[in-house]
Structure 1
């Protein structure tokens, strides 16, 4: 993508039939731009390729033909030259001078400690002037290897308290992050901590990390599994500006560049298969938008107006692009009915704990906040006997129905059914309603259709809360993950059948599937995976054909 024009460009080095799996663009100190890729070349298998980014000319790194499957490519500046380091799946680490293509230092053979699937590296310079690589291997401590001697350092770095998944090396030190959600800075030469570990507030774990120099300041940029990006002063650890909501799910990758017009641009890649570019000054809190509007958590349309939830726990009501009301104490807007909006409240730490009902016409809360048994709640609203009913789902596979606007409980139930996928490895703790909708069956009964974290879809009678039919599961037998149901919508087919269109995560073979709510059997599925689907709506064409 051309970041100046926002147009797609086919690079000359992307040859027909080639499938690049790992890409690293490198600007050398002599002004040349290279792209280092692992290509899957027909009749030749996978291998390391180096090309000029502009002309597409093939270049050579010394001994590159001996490099096997690549796990990661990193680069660093060392003694006035740009060094490229490559980590292979067999544990070998190679390094080259990007300008001359000559080998730098010694080849390193990493020991097979821990799960090699989670191994990652960073490259930098030690206090003695030697080039080194830092190797993180999930549960194992971070180890440093001197590339000039080929020997490991005497000290190790503890890394993340739970599991180190990210390691980057910048001018201000070595940074680690992982499953604890904390960011830490280390002196790579001594192994001493240069910060006290602190939580970034970006979710249970951090999913991307980057060191950069912006406006003369060394910064570290963190991406979280909730789709936010934060900018930190690499020396002091002070957060610069407010978090920016960049994706609907995990931030999987980060890159930055300086454009010819002087702008600093951050490029983010999300788990929903999108890449977006941002001007970095929008993260430092100086812009009007960043100051006035904190990161968005959710958006819905209510009575011709837009209602948005934000990380500061304030619900904002918009009309023609202007905020006409601010309703404090609501972290995320869930559903709407007429001029009523249901929102999840906040304890002040970003975690939802109460259910709030707002009248948008008067800008007032209806009734008192109700404590929820869960976080990560989903909700929908429908009618029963001419009155509005809110249906809320959350942790422990709990579903609750309540009359609106009084909040009087109609019923509450929790599924205790155990599926054969429930205790599948590390996912056995995940029990949560992740999507919910309602439908009207051919016999006139209104039902609640809920999807769970374990990939199971269940049907309940809206009036009684009792289970109907059998459980439906979107997860294939060979599925490596729970295949959570991420979105649901119901519709009527031209032949009269009532179906639920269920969407799930990108590891599911059929990411979108339609289920008959009477027979509880699949009607249709996508032929190929579509990527992780987070929202689904259904429209009906003039000829009566429903389109999800």
Structure 2
């Protein structure tokens, strides 16, 4: 009987023995990983354990919570863990470490010297991933729940430029290649680090990047530069191949690669405004392959390649002349008629093969209004895909095939979002994903060693995220598109605490503060025809209150439509609308001595006004003072029962007002050159009413409202300004202020004038937060 061939999925005897030894090593070393939940510098595990325990655990197929308990994770070397886990995932999948995706997402925030910072990052991202920790892991605070504004993703910081491509190196590493000012860099997408390779040669910006595998197996990058040259780089050796390829008169705006029917690997480059030609280069020979193709008036902006059903290898080029041309690369001639009517010119092109074998080009035009065009290259017919109600520019595109076989296009927009389109149905998959705070300049797909299909986007840094529907951080939960601009809390009649958020797209949403579940939301509207269904533009101000009849209400203000709306906090139904006529920037509420509930509304370009919320009419005259509008407002009741408002103007002044009389009581602080973005009030244990002011200079100032004097010295809070302030009373009766800014949150004892131990956590912010 013939001996059956060995099962390739099973380890050989030698591999099994090595694995068993590594597992024993990991078990022994893991005894040193049993650290207390509270981080103590005197109890930090040995450096070898921190660096190498994960590697031994992966090698022994023992990467689980027994080897790496949650409390130990803030101490590890995340890059070694990521690299080791990926190398083993293909042949011998390790037992699951549930928080491995979280470690990938926070690696860019990691600090070897500050495990408490790492613990805070893990805590927050575990909550964003709906993976609650079993216990606090060293952070002095923990996250009860969190909802992502952006898609959960991995971030590779310090990557610049306008172009990105991906490749697989001979050793299996998946890399991204980016071009910056004169330098081409290579990034390991699994380890999340830049390779020790800097390919320097271009004079000026690197405008375009593509990758290819040569017939001899070398993996290369092809780059086009501002200097008019095309250069070829060996990504493993980290060296240039041959001399620069010259011929373009001006910048090279786009490059692509293709394999001709005779097996030659070629690069296709497009010249910019001064040139307008398409050139084909033999990458092995380092010479031009044929004559230049006179392509586009005004320059070539985009290039892609494809193989038609009849076997012809073609280049698809787009130009500023609003045309897309198809070129037979072997014959050096145009194929068919130009594909025209691309408004403002062509920004980007990608190609794909649909399940029915049709070859299509996906075209992004300059004035796209959020749409893309898909052209059947054989038939010469096109159709436009629209993203529903979403508008905005599309700047870049790539194509990919999902694990289920669907062919998709991935587009990056000027608003920092990324959309995935099903090219057969013409619909978008999932909601738009906020990838960057700035325009997405380039996108490229890649398949990682663990089988994940990811998109690599270049905007403010390099980001990597799973583009499989439902896997990009969506989690089936509502998120805040455009960022959270305002937030308030309220207590419902049944005792539940809710948080109400206002987003940049005009949506108002209520969350159960205990569980984080969405209770209701009022969607944004795209026109003024339905003013009671939401705000036009960002919701820039929110406050909550209890009406005289006991109803809990939420008051929201829109920055563009000049309207203030009142909502039932429990049901999310509209109760009324106040027309202010100016961009609303601040809202606060107060109960007058006669029981009336009023709202003080501040406008960015106008005066503050007082409104009776039950009667829905203004009270008295507008509060006018020379200034530049109201940025923030808070209210308080003084010991003599006067209700006062503290307003912060865009001129930096802090003013005090008698709400009932509508009188200006004076200036608490004349300000400085910085805008005051946040104001809150509190009552100290000794009965003093204070105003807490957060300024653009990064300092927090406390003022005795009745005496109109400063309390203590300014507190240095945030490096780049204070964006938000809130006050609270702790169970031990200490009165505290919570401040946010410069990507940190800090806690202050207002009576003592000192900071409390609440570690700041770096989290990328977008826009201004009220």
TM-score w.r.t. length of structure 1: 0.63
CA distance in 1, matches of 2:277, 2:230: 14
Q: Report the alpha carbon displacement of residue 141 of structure 1 after superposing the two structures with TM.
A: 2.8
Q: Provide the secondary structure at the position in 2 that maps to 1:297.
A: coil
Of the candidates 363, 368, 375, which is equivalent to residue 576 of structure 2?
368
- Is it true that 1:336 corresponds to 2:542 in the alignment? yes
Q: Report the alpha carbon displacement of residue 437 of structure 1 after superposing the two structures with TM.
A: 2.6
Greater RCO, 1 or 2 (C-alpha within 8 Å, sep 6+): 2
- Is it true that 1:356 corresponds to 2:543 in the alignment? no
Residue matched to 1:327: 521
Residue matched to 1:37: 223
- Is it true that 1:176 corresponds to 2:369 in the alignment? no
Residue matched to 1:242: 431
- Is it true that 1:13 corresponds to 2:198 in the alignment? yes
CA distance in 1, matches of 2:223, 2:556: 48
CA distance in 2, matches of 1:105, 1:17: 24
Residue matched to 2:233: 51
- Is it true that 1:302 corresponds to 2:488 in the alignment? yes
CA distance in 2, matches of 1:537, 1:359: 34
CA distance in 2, matches of 1:101, 1:150: 18
Residue matched to 2:698: 539
Unaligned runs of 5+ in 2: 1-155, 157-186, 354-358, 490-497, 524-533, 546-553, 593-597, 635-644, 659-666, 678-694, 701-712, 721-770
Q: Report the alpha carbon displacement of residue 244 of structure 1 after superposing the two structures with TM.
A: 1.7
Residue matched to 1:526: none
Residues paired across the two proteins, number: 431
CA distance in 1, matches of 2:668, 2:278: 57
Residue matched to 1:315: 509
Matched-pair contact (CA < 8 Å) for 1:241–1:286: no
Residue matched to 2:446: 257
Q: CA 1:359–1:210 in structure 2 vs 1: closer, same or farther (change >3 Å)?
A: same
Residue matched to 2:729: none
Of the candidates 480, 492, 499, which is equivalent to residue 673 of structure 2?
499
Q: Report the alpha carbon displacement of residue 164 of structure 1 after superposing the two structures with TM.
A: 3.7
- Is it true that 1:64 corresponds to 2:272 in the alignment? no
Q: CA 1:87–1:39 in structure 2 vs 1: closer, same or farther (change >3 Å)?
A: closer
- Is it true that 1:166 corresponds to 2:348 in the alignment? yes
- Is it true that 1:277 corresponds to 2:464 in the alignment? yes
- Is it true that 1:229 corresponds to 2:437 in the alignment? no
Matched-pair contact (CA < 8 Å) for 2:632–2:647: yes
Q: CA 1:325–1:70 in structure 2 vs 1: closer, same or farther (change >3 Å)?
A: same
Matched-pair contact (CA < 8 Å) for 1:296–1:310: yes
Q: CA 1:277–1:157 in structure 2 vs 1: closer, same or farther (change >3 Å)?
A: same
Q: CA 1:189–1:352 in structure 2 vs 1: closer, same or farther (change >3 Å)?
A: farther
Matched-pair contact (CA < 8 Å) for 1:392–1:400: yes
Q: Report the alpha carbon displacement of residue 264 of structure 1 after superposing the two structures with TM.
A: 1.2
CA distance in 1, matches of 2:676, 2:237: 46
- Is it true that 1:88 corresponds to 2:271 in the alignment? yes
CA distance in 1, matches of 2:314, 2:630: 51
CA distance in 2, matches of 1:110, 1:207: 21
CA distance in 1, matches of 2:676, 2:201: 36
The answer to which of 164-173 and 398-407 deviates more is 398-407
- Is it true that 1:121 corresponds to 2:303 in the alignment? yes
Of the candidates 388, 395, 414, which is equivalent to residue 207 of structure 1?
395
CA distance in 2, matches of 1:321, 1:57: 54
Q: What's the C-alpha RMSD, in Å, of the aligned pairs?
A: 4.8
Of the candidates 467, 477, 490, which is equivalent to residue 292 of structure 1?
477
Q: Provide the secondary structure at the position in 2 that maps to 1:265.
A: strand
CA distance in 1, matches of 2:397, 2:453: 17
Q: Report the alpha carbon displacement of residue 156 of structure 1 after superposing the two structures with TM.
A: 1.6
Q: Report the alpha carbon displacement of residue 222 of structure 1 after superposing the two structures with TM.
A: 1.9
CA distance in 2, matches of 1:316, 1:384: 22
Of the candidates 285, 289, 294, which is equivalent to residue 109 of structure 1?
294
The answer to which of 246-255 and 144-153 deviates more is 144-153
Q: Report the alpha carbon displacement of residue 278 of structure 1 after superposing the two structures with TM.
A: 0.9
Residue matched to 1:156: 338
Residue matched to 2:256: 74
Q: Report the alpha carbon displacement of residue 158 of structure 1 after superposing the two structures with TM.
A: 2.2
Q: Report the alpha carbon displacement of residue 95 of structure 1 after superposing the two structures with TM.
A: 2.1
CA distance in 1, matches of 2:561, 2:259: 45
CA distance in 2, matches of 1:400, 1:208: 43
Q: CA 1:210–1:365 in structure 2 vs 1: closer, same or farther (change >3 Å)?
A: same
Q: Report the alpha carbon displacement of residue 173 of structure 1 after superposing the two structures with TM.
A: 0.3
Q: CA 1:149–1:53 in structure 2 vs 1: closer, same or farther (change >3 Å)?
A: same
- Name the structure where helix makes up a greater proportion of residues: 2
1:436-455, CA deviations, whole angstroms, 9 ceiling, x for partnerless residues? 83599xxx9967549xxxxx
Unaligned runs of 5+ in 1: 346-350, 414-432, 451-456, 464-490, 504-535
Of the candidates 384, 390, 396, which is equivalent to residue 601 of structure 2?
390
Matched-pair contact (CA < 8 Å) for 1:314–1:327: yes
The answer to which of 26-35 and 399-408 deviates more is 399-408
Q: Report the alpha carbon displacement of residue 206 of structure 1 after superposing the two structures with TM.
A: 1.6
Q: Report the alpha carbon displacement of residue 379 of structure 1 after superposing the two structures with TM.
A: 2.7
Matched-pair contact (CA < 8 Å) for 1:142–1:157: yes
Q: CA 1:154–1:267 in structure 2 vs 1: closer, same or farther (change >3 Å)?
A: closer
CA distance in 2, matches of 1:446, 1:183: 47
- Is it true that 1:380 corresponds to 2:586 in the alignment? yes
Residue matched to 2:93: none
- Is it true that 1:131 corresponds to 2:345 in the alignment? no
CA distance in 2, matches of 1:301, 1:53: 48
Matched-pair contact (CA < 8 Å) for 2:600–2:611: yes
Q: Report the alpha carbon displacement of residue 388 of structure 1 after superposing the two structures with TM.
A: 4.1
Q: Report the alpha carbon displacement of residue 344 of structure 1 after superposing the two structures with TM.
A: 4.9
CA distance in 1, matches of 2:258, 2:676: 45
CA distance in 1, matches of 2:584, 2:290: 54
Matched-pair contact (CA < 8 Å) for 2:259–2:313: no
Matched-pair contact (CA < 8 Å) for 1:13–1:53: no
Q: Report the alpha carbon displacement of residue 502 of structure 1 after superposing the two structures with TM.
A: 11
Q: Provide the secondary structure at the position in 1 that maps to 2:381.
A: coil
Q: Report the alpha carbon displacement of residue 230 of structure 1 after superposing the two structures with TM.
A: 1.6
CA distance in 1, matches of 2:325, 2:254: 16
CA distance in 2, matches of 1:157, 1:492: 66
Q: CA 1:185–1:437 in structure 2 vs 1: closer, same or farther (change >3 Å)?
A: same
Matched-pair contact (CA < 8 Å) for 1:37–1:50: yes
Q: Report the alpha carbon displacement of residue 153 of structure 1 after superposing the two structures with TM.
A: 4.1
